[in-house]
């Protein structure tokens, strides 16, 4: 049986990456693509690299257009998914790549996003370790509504959560600094994203605890076992089209050895198909995972500072968005979660 699929917001970067991966999936058939300003245009005019889907035309984004499909993927800006999701009750599986259904606390939504709050859905980060020693994966089996994490959130969470659950790091003085590619800001025209503005330069943004991904990171670390989490989170825009390299640090818990620290991450990711802890002394580059659904994690203990350091690399459009969406959909529908998802990156 092939599942009919619609992708809403198909003209953006996340939508395009969904389509690229879905075109290779043996159980999904993309039948409908929608957009706002590009409605009526051939998909190939907006995404000429998607040759296998060149027969599709972008349609108006309405609930009626999306209804009647087995699976709907939403790749929309925050605040836009919730306008649609209440009217898609007949769709078997809806996967939201936006922020509208991620947060469990309405106060966090009001403080960091604003506008109407929509209930949290099953959270689409299968590898998230939980305080009860399980993983988020188990909560995705049979899900009908899934919220995909923010890309920065995935990178920081995968880097820190194993240490939180194992109790080998303290959750009250966490620091994360991320090098982030420009596609994470979407495809809309912005002056600060012009090539002449970003070439040969790096710039921090959303500094000082105001980034919208902060409450989601804290939410995940609490789920991993922290009573509360305090984190200073600073993203830095770098001249890459895609990729995230997250350097996250935490105080090592008193009396914990370096071997015990490493064992926490080894145990968490030993059997994961899309997360790898690198050998001691090795650290990833963002380019190592370009085009793949892999997350690579390097780990060190800074003995002088008494801190644990992780360096996590993901492709923000794959493991950070579209790949996580399809991986979670696979689990919800009872497929092998690896189906249709690449582990090999693209180089050079």
Which residues are tagged catalytic? 151
- Rounded CA-CA distance 288/296 in Å is 8
List, in sequence order, the alpha helices (H) in the chain: 13-22, 43-46, 63-66, 81-85, 106-112, 151-166, 195-198, 214-223, 258-269, 323-333
DSSP code, position 320: I
**Strand residues in the chain grouped as ranges (E):** 3-8, 28-35, 58-60, 71-74, 93-96, 122-123, 145-147, 174-180, 203-204, 231-237, 244-251, 275-277, 295-302, 307-314
The strand order across the sheet containing 3-8 reads 58-60, 28-35, 3-8, 71-74, 93-96, 145-147, 122-123
Length of the chain: 348
In 3D, which of 49, 78, 46 has the Cα closest to residue 59? Answer: 46
3-state secondary structure of 2: coil
3-state secondary structure of 313: strand
CA end-to-end distance (rounded Å), the chain: 38
Cβ atoms within 10 Å, residue 222: 16
């Amino acid at each position: 049986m092939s599942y009919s699929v619609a992708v809403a917001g198909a003209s953006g970067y996340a939508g395009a990456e969904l389509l690229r991966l879905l075109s290779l999936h043996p159980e999904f058939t993309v039948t409908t693509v929608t957009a706002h300003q590009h409605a009526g245009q051939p998909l190939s005019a907006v995404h000429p690299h998607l040759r296998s889907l060149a027969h599709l035309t972008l349609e108006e984004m309405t609930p009626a257009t999306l209804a009647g499909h087995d699976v709907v993927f939403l790749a929309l800006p925050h605040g836009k998914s919730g306008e649609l999701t209440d009217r898609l009750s007949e769709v078997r599986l809806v996967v939201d790549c936006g922020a509208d259904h991620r947060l469990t606390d309405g106060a966090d939504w009001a403080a960091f996003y604003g506008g109407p709050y929509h209930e949290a859905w099953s959270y689409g980060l299968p590898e998230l370790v939980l305080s009860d020693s399980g993983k988020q994966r188990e909560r995705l089996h049979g899900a009908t509504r899934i919220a995909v994490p923010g890309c920065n959130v995935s990178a920081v969470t995968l880097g820190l959560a194993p240490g939180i659950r194992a109790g080998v790091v303290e959750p009250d003085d966490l620091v994360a600094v991320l090098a982030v590619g420009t596609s994470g800001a979407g495809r809309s025209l912005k002056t600060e994203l012009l090539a002449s503005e970003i070439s040969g330069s790096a710039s921090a943004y959303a500094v000082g605890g105001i980034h919208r991904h902060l409450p989601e990171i804290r939410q995940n670390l609490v789920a991993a076992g922290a009573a509360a989490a305090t984190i200073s989170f600073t993203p830095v825009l770098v001249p890459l089209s895609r990729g995230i390299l997250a350097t996250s640090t935490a105080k090592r818990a008193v009396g914990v050895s370096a071997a015990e620290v490493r064992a926490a991450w080894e145990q968490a990711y030993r059997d994961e198909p899309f997360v790898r802890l690198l050998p001691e002394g090795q650290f990833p580059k963002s380019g190592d995972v370009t085009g793949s659904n892999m997350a690579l994690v390097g780990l060190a203990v800074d003995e002088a500072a008494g801190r644990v350091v992780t360096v996590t690399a993901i492709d923000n459009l794959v493991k950070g968005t579209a790949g996580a969406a399809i991986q979670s959909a696979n689990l919800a529908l009872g497929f092998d979660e690896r189906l249709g998802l690449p582990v090999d990156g693209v180089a050079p």
